[in-house]
Amino acid sequence: MAEADAHRFLEPDFLARLDKLRLVAKRLGWGMARGEHPTVRKGYSLEFSDYRKYSRGDDLRYVDWNVYGRLERLLLKVFTAEEEITVYLLLDTSLSMGQGSPSKLEFAKSVAAALGYIGLKTHDRVGAVGFAGDVAAQLPPARTRRQILALFNFLAALSCAGRTDLETSVKTFTRLYPRSGLVVLFSDLLDAAGYAAALEELGRKRHDVLLVHVLGEGETRLDPGGDVSLVDLETARERRVFLDRDLADRFQREVEDFFAGARQLCEGREMDYRRTTSDVPFDDFVLRYLTSGVRSGRGADNRTG
């Protein structure tokens, strides 16, 4: 299974779709590791921002001699120091993520592969974590050429198992990786203990957060069916109910409240929220994310499913 998945990530069609997304990101000037403020901390790059007139005493190494040769004017290159931000891809691999066609986990893998590919191609540090009841697998952040293949192999090896414990998993993650960065969290949020504490932990650690709320097609509605048996995939607990129209309508209202609560929680913490279903083409989802002005529109519920 993992080997087949790894081959899927390396198929020419998949790589071509990734490269198309990378070109869109480049054209938009979008980069996951582009800090907004100058920094004096270690781990930064210098990026050209403007010219200014040469003044006596300025460092001659920063004079643009090509400009001088054409215009006979001494102009100094001005650079901005930009902090390096690490991108962390966190994937929920609990049993409930195996639902859907394709599964929620397979969708998350494809989106994570795309965002990781874009990040590495724009010289960001990218790492990944798989979790259920706790962190189960990890790929330490790096920005080498080899990291792309390492990321694809890591994602291919992930499979669904266990119950969800977002709070424990996120606390382990922040302990393992104390450096703040951009966290892309993929989950269906089906955690009996809730997800608020996990998001609060990421906020306390000063991470930028994109929550990708992934659902399977058909998970958000119930059709009246009389006597039915409902089984919790992660606990195997079974409950028999009589599913009539009133109960189906109540379920729908609670689902909408659940979505609204997730969106509002992210808005309150200036985190980005995107909800989708796993049957949406992964590159459509990423394209909408890239073109939605995500860094200036935090917390929006851009549903793609």
- Is-contact 108 161, C-beta < 8 A? no
pTM of this prediction exceeds 0.85: no
| Mean pLDDT (the chain, rounded) | 84
Residue 39 pLDDT level (bands cut at 50, 70, 90):
very low
The DSSP secondary-structure symbol of 63 reads: B
Q: What is the pLDDT of residue 294?
A: 47
Instruction: Check pLDDT > 60 for residue 293.
Output: no
Q: What is the pLDDT of residue 36?
A: 38
**Burial class of residue 33 (count of CB atoms within 10 Å of its CB; 0-12, 13-18, 19+):** buried
Q: How far apart are CA 24 and CA 289, in angstroms?
A: 11
Place of tokens 């540090």: 125
Q: How far apart are CA 270 and CA 276, in angstroms?
A: 20
Residue 3 pLDDT level (bands cut at 50, 70, 90):
low
Q: Does domain 2-31+85-296 have CATH number 1.20.1250.20?
A: no
What pLDDT, in 10s, does the model give residues 102-134?
Answer: 999 999 999 999 999 999 988 889 999 999 999
More confident position, 11 or 6: 11
Q: What is the pLDDT of residue 46?
A: 53
What pLDDT, in 10s, does the model give residues 152-195?
Answer: 999 999 999 999 999 999 999 999 999 999 999 999 999 989 99
H or E element in which residue 44 lies: strand 44-53
User: What is the residue extent of each domain of the chain?
Assistant: 2-31+85-296, 44-83
